Amino acid sequence: MFCPILSFLNKIMSISRKNVFIYLVCFLSFLFWIIINTLFPLRIFEERAQYFMDSKFWIKTPIVTQKNQDLKKTTPLNLDLFYEAYKQASENYYGFDTLSEKDLVSGMIKGFVDSFWDKHSEYFNIDETKKFNEVLSGDFEGIGAVIEKNDFWVVIERIIAGSPAKEAGLISGDIITKANNEELKDLSLTDAVSKIRGKADTTVSLEVIRAGQKEIMTKVVTRKKIDIPSVDGKMIDGTSIGYIALSIFGEKTADDFNKTLTDLENQKATGLIIDLRDNGGGYLETAVSILSNFVEKDKVLVTTKEKNPFLNRSYFSYGNTGKSLPIVVLINENSASASEITAGALKDYNLAILVGQKSYGKGSVQQPFNLSDGSEMKITVAKWYTPKDYGIDKIGINPDIEVKFEPEDYDKKYDRQLEEAKKILFQFIKTGDKQKTVDGYLKNKEVLLKKSSETASGSLGK
């Protein structure tokens, strides 16, 4: 037994010190190689897994970018042409010496992100980053409208429920031409927003063009602190129907929704209307939490697919309340992102009837990267899919029953979509069957349209 060991020791003793050193170096190198190729990749995986445990929707856990030195090593672009252009500009542009390095770098990054041709990928400077993050925290001052800017106009994309803009009668699609008599069309989006927003209790006079109206309207709006009421719930008067409107999927929305739902259930609600109109989305985890009230435990709610397929992930319901209320979900062309995740899952599992108009079609996921100066770059990192693996990006979700506003509804402040949703929900409660309710409503509507057409024809005949 000891012979092989003694023989091995004799050989070791006979080897010169120089050779022993060489063998030792080889052995340590081999050991280091094993450590690098086993333990280190496991650590990378562990950190990535933890990142996904903490991840959000289009606002994921922010990742701080690497230092410039590391980026230079990995940048695949040939920037010779850029430096050539920079040299020409710095030597020949008349006002170059008056430009700040900070503004130049910020503009370069913005142009880089704009070159993606993805309107959901954006670069925010320090001030824009602050304002962007204020929206989801629900703490800012202004008129309570989300605007966008094209080459010619400043357009209202959506109105926050209960906001000064809503009270002043502004609606989605309105074009704002002036703010306090200042033209907005030649301003950047940031500058236009700064003209419209302002301190609470101050006023702003807006000149507005509305589709279908010939004259320019003037709306004087009193700004106020916008404490976004992400959840507004109540029992509809004289009915047993509960109503919950969501304006955004923010940090506190899930908790507020769960409390409101419990309150409505305690008031013996027999059906529920969830209003997602003009809700531009927010946190994915908020949508998952809300859906978990209705979808059976461990059912897939949404799946995200990334550039690297190994990083694809499904989000599951973590247990419903056991209550099976008939649900109608209101959506429109401004229902996007987390709103569509919620509507899509409820539709796929036949838990709700969707009423209104086709949704926006934002089936992509954005992640913010915090840059070292406090600015932020939000870029698309994934696409998401409904439980039945439907991709809705740039397509939207069709309602089960389409209901459009008539021109006179705006003047009369008549919410036609909500009123039809009530009728549909009453039938849903009565039948207990989604498809039977949808078919019955559409058939009845067809009959009414036929009668209306016959009446009109008869009147013309007379």
Cβ neighbours of residue 158 closer than 8 Å, sequence gap 6 or more? 145, 146, 172, 278, 279, 280, 334
Q: Give the C-alpha separation, 178 to 192, whole Å.
A: 9
378 part of the active site = no
Q: What is the pLDDT of residue 386?
A: 97
- Catalytic option among 163, 230, 247, 337: 337
Over its C-alpha atoms, the chain yields an Rg (Å, rounded) of 30
- Catalytic option among 56, 60, 362, 378: 362
Q: Is residue 171 packed enough to be buried (19+ CB in 10 Å), middle (13-18) or exposed (0-12)? A: middle
292 part of the active site = no
Beta pairing, strands 182-183 & 154-159: unpaired
- Catalytic option among 121, 292, 366, 427: 366
Per-residue pLDDT of the chain (462 residues; tens, 9 = 90+): 545 544 544 555 555 555 555 666 566 666 655 554 444 333 322 222 222 222 334 433 333 334 444 555 555 788 899 999 999 999 999 999 999 998 899 889 989 998 999 888 888 887 777 766 665 555 578 898 878 877 678 888 778 767 899 889 998 889 999 999 999 888 877 788 888 988 889 999 999 999 878 889 999 999 988 776 689 899 998 899 999 999 889 888 999 999 999 999 999 999 999 999 988 888 899 999 999 999 999 999 999 999 889 999 999 998 776 567 999 999 999 899 999 999 999 999 999 999 999 999 999 988 888 888 888 888 999 999 999 999 999 999 999 999 999 888 877 889 999 999 999 999 999 999 999 999 999 998 888 776 766 565 555 455
337 part of the active site = yes
What is the residue type of 306?
E
The answer to whether the Cα torsion of 255, 258, 264, 265 is positive or negative is negative
Cβ neighbours of residue 17 closer than 8 Å, sequence gap 6 or more? none
Q: What is the pLDDT of residue 321?
A: 60
Q: Give the C-alpha separation, 122 to 113, whole Å.
A: 6
Q: Give the C-alpha separation, 192 to 173, whole Å.
A: 16
Q: What is the pLDDT of residue 288?
A: 95
Number of C-beta neighbours around residue 124 at 10 A:
23
